[in-house]
Amino acid sequence: MNTLSKARTPKYFRELQDLTQELGFSMSSDMGIQFLLQSLCASKPNGIFLELGTGTGLSLVHMLHGMDRESRVISLDNDPKLIESVRQTLDQETRLELLCVDGDRWIEEYQGEGFDLIFADAWPGKYSQLDKTLQMVKKGGFYIIDDLLPQPNWPEGHQAKAEALITELETRTDFAITTMEWSTGILIATKIN
């Protein structure tokens, strides 16, 4: 079965999809990871979630759709145009803290509580600041990354970086790791201690 339920399409998805096309933004996560994030957020009632790399908000609205009313999410990006566009669309969403910041600096300076799920969809938290990011995951929480299979827009040498990242994560003893050759290549790490 390779279909995705239209019944689970989030509020504001169409507006953000139009925004994505209007801005010519080509780095959105695909629908598979978006619906996976929705389901994983639904598994953590009263959760706190982090998205590193807001983009045009397509994954973010799926996370919001899966969250219960008591949950909250922080999403950050370093592109002020993208953040402002998403903010205008989601301005009524009280469970969301949307930040326009440098991701590496934010991760380095973060002193708050841990997260039930971190979706690292940008360089920070994935290829930089990895250890600090993984420390922010609560026991039983998820660390999710995508784009691990070769992509047409990858620069020369990026495949070696992706493979090294997978190898590094698979050697950790504090996470149970599942890699999937599905969607764009997904890794789900669950904190076990």
**35-73, pLDDT tens digit by residue?**
999 999 999 999 999 999 998 988 999 999 999 999 999
Residue 25: predicted pLDDT: 67
Measured over the CA atoms of residue 99, residue 104, residue 107 and residue 109, the dihedral's sign is: negative
CATH of the domain at 96: 3.40.50.150
Query: 126 in a domain, yes or no?
Result: yes
Query: 13 in a domain, yes or no?
Result: no
Total domains, the chain: 1
Are 49 and 67 contacting, i.e. CB atoms less than 8 angstroms apart?
A: yes
Is residue 166's pLDDT more than 80? yes
Query: 177 in a domain, yes or no?
Result: yes
Are 119 and 59 contacting, i.e. CB atoms less than 8 angstroms apart?
A: yes
Query: 103 in a domain, yes or no?
Result: yes
Is residue 187's pLDDT more than 60? yes
For the entire predicted model, the pTM comes to 0.90
Query: 15 in a domain, yes or no?
Result: no
Instruction: Give residue 86's domain range.
Output: 30-191
Spatial distance between the Cα atoms of 93 and 64, rounded to a whole number of angstroms:
9
Higher-scoring residue by pLDDT: 74, 183: 74
Query: 7 in a domain, yes or no?
Result: no
Please, is 41 exposed, middle or buried when counting C-beta atoms within 10 Å of its C-beta (0-12, 13-18, 19+)? buried
Confidence grade of residue 24 (pLDDT, cut at 50, 70, 90) = confident
pLDDT tens profile 94-135: 999 999 999 999 999 999 999 999 999 999 999 999 999 999
Is residue 7's pLDDT more than 80? no
Query: 2 in a domain, yes or no?
Result: no
Query: 127 in a domain, yes or no?
Result: yes
Residue 1: predicted pLDDT: 40
pLDDT tens profile 65-99: 999 999 999 999 999 999 999 999 999 999 999 99
